[in-house]
């Protein structure tokens, strides 16, 4: 089942005479499958926040439509099942972390007897238990981002929408956020998050889409989108004769502590022919796997090509 679907979704900001010529989002068609983590990627100004606001029913499309759980996003049942972290959330500085989450829990109509436990659970998930009684006004950007994430998962949503959740987090915080996303996915939650920070996004996404200047450049499974750039051969211990044969053609070699080797080859006829020859002679010595370009390489290739055309 598709959790989010957009049909020619278009948004042009402004009104009548003041309407901008260029749409912020131009005929977007995407389908997000249940239970997957989707990375919604694009440079600044690409139209990511605009799309998220349309999904969240915070602004209205100029043309086209969006369906969430197969329904109009204004449907109350839809809203109840979404957890949302906006791109620049504002917090009341005089509230403590606990008090803020308590208000959110009341808004979500979490039963009074379960509220405290659930708040402590989400504070633990974002590693903020120690700060439960501190005022939000004294929190750093990263700490506020964690509280924002805590409120987004408070109602155990079926769909989690996060707008630039990695911004403001240090590498450690980013890793923890990724762990939370993976954990949410394990619980069956569909996660849709936007990002312009690509490094290690690919490790947690099942599917991605790339947007540039309001136009969708691609959408699909990450392993199908990234091109194969070569081959990695893992040579089991005790097969040094195979390593000797192949080493000269490899672009990278690593000897592992257990005596096995990892050899990396670029796509070349000579290398591929030699590998299949060695594999034929000693089928159990080698384990082969394709190597792919990184998401970063793919992203810049796509975005630069689309910018060249316009």
198 counts as binding ligand ADP under rule CB under 6 A: no
Q: Is 190 in the site for ligand ADP (CB under 6 A)?
A: no
Question: What is the spatial distance between Cα 215 and Cα 192, in angstroms, rounded to a whole number?
Answer: 18
Smallest gap from residue 163 Cβ to Mg ion (A): 6
**Buried b / exposed e along 271-288 (16+ C-beta atoms within 10 A):** beebbeebbeeeeebbee
Q: Give the phi and the psi of residue 66 in degrees, each rounded to 5.
A: -130, 140
Closest Cα to residue 70, out of 3, 157, 160? Answer: 3
- Helix 141-153 to helix 97-107 angle, to the nearest 10 degrees? 30
State the sign of the Cα–Cα–Cα–Cα dihedral 173, 209, 32, 6.
positive
Residue 166 makes contact with ligand ADP by CB under 6 A: no
- How far apart are CB 44 and Mg ion at their closest, in Å? 7
Enter the DSSP assignment of 248: T
Contacts (CB under 6 A) with ligand ADP, residues 36-55: 42, 44-50
Chain positions 86 to 145 lying near Mg ion, rule: CB under 5 A, are 87
Minimal CB distance residue for Mg ion: 49
Give yes or no for residue 109 binding ligand ADP (CB under 6 A). Answer: no
Q: Are 39 and 205 in contact (CB under 8 A)?
A: yes
Kindly give, in sequence order, each residue whose CB lies less than 8 Å from that of residue 25, ignoring residues fewer than 6 positions away: 9, 10, 11, 47, 50, 51, 54, 211, 214
Using CB under 6 A as the binding rule, whether residue 23 contacts ligand ADP is answered as no
Query: What are 214's two structure tokens?
Result: 């309001």
Question: Would you count residue 13 as binding ligand ADP (CB under 6 A)?
Answer: yes
Give the distance, in angstroms, between the CA of residue 206 and the centroid of all CA atoms in the same chain: 8
- Of 49-57, 89-97, 166-174, 177-185, which segment contacts Mg ion by CB under 5 A? 49-57
49 contributes a contact to Mg ion by CB under 5 A = yes
Give the nearer residue to ligand ADP in terms of CB position, either 42 or 61: 42
Work out what residue 7 binds among ligand ADP, Mg ion, none; the CB cut-off runs from 5 to 8 Å by kind: none
We find the least distance from the C-beta atom of residue 12 to ligand ADP, in angstroms, to be 9
Residue 35 or 86 having the CB closest to ligand ADP:
86
110: left (phi over 0), alpha (psi -120 to 50) or beta: beta
Using CB under 5 A as the binding criterion, the count of chain residues that bind Mg ion stands at 3
Tell me how far, at minimum, the Cβ of 59 lies from ligand ADP, in Å: 8
**Does the protein bind Mg ion through residue 151 (CB under 5 A)?**
no
- Out of Mg ion, ligand ADP, none, what residue 217 binds, judged by CB under 5 to 8 A for its kind, is none
Q: Site residues (CB under 5 A) for Mg ion? A: 48-49, 87
């Amino acid at each position: 089942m598709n959790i989010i679907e957009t049909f020619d979704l278009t948004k042009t900001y402004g009104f009548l005479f003041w309407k901008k010529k260029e749409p912020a989002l131009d005929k977007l068609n995407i389908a997000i499958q249940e239970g997957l983590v989707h990375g919604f990627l694009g440079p600044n100004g690409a139209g990511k926040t605009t799309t998220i606001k349309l999904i969240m029913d915070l602004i209205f499309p100029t043309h086209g439509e969006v369906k969430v759980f197969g329904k109009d996003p204004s449907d109350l049942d839809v809203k109840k099942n979404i957890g949302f972290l906006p791109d620049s959330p504002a917090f009341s500085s005089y509230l403590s972390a606990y008090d803020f989450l308590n208000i959110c829990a009341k808004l979500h109509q979490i039963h009074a007897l379960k509220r405290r436990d659930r708040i402590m659970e989400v504070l633990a998930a974002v590693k903020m238990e120690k700060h439960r009684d501190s005022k939000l006004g004294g929190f750093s950007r990263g700490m506020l981002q964690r509280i924002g994430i805590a409120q987004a998962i408070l109602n155990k949503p079926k769909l989690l929408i996060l707008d630039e959740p990695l911004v403001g987090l240090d590498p450690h915080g980013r890793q923890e956020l990724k762990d939370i996303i993976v954990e949410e996915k394990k619980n069956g939650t569909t996660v849709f998050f936007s990002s312009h920070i690509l490094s290690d996004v690919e490790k947690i996404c099942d599917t991605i889409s790339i947007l540039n200047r309001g136009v969708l450049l691609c959408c699909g499974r990450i392993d199908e989108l990234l091109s194969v750039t070569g081959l990695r051969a893992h040579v089991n211990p005790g097969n040094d004769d195979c390593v000797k044969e192949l080493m000269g053609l490899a672009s990278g070699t690593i000897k592992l502590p257990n005596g096995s080797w990892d050899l990396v080859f670029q796509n070349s006829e000579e290398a591929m022919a030699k590998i299949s020859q060695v594999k034929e002679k000693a089928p159990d010595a080698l384990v082969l796997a394709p190597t792919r370009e990184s998401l970063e390489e793919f992203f810049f290739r796509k975005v630069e090509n689309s910018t060249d055309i316009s």
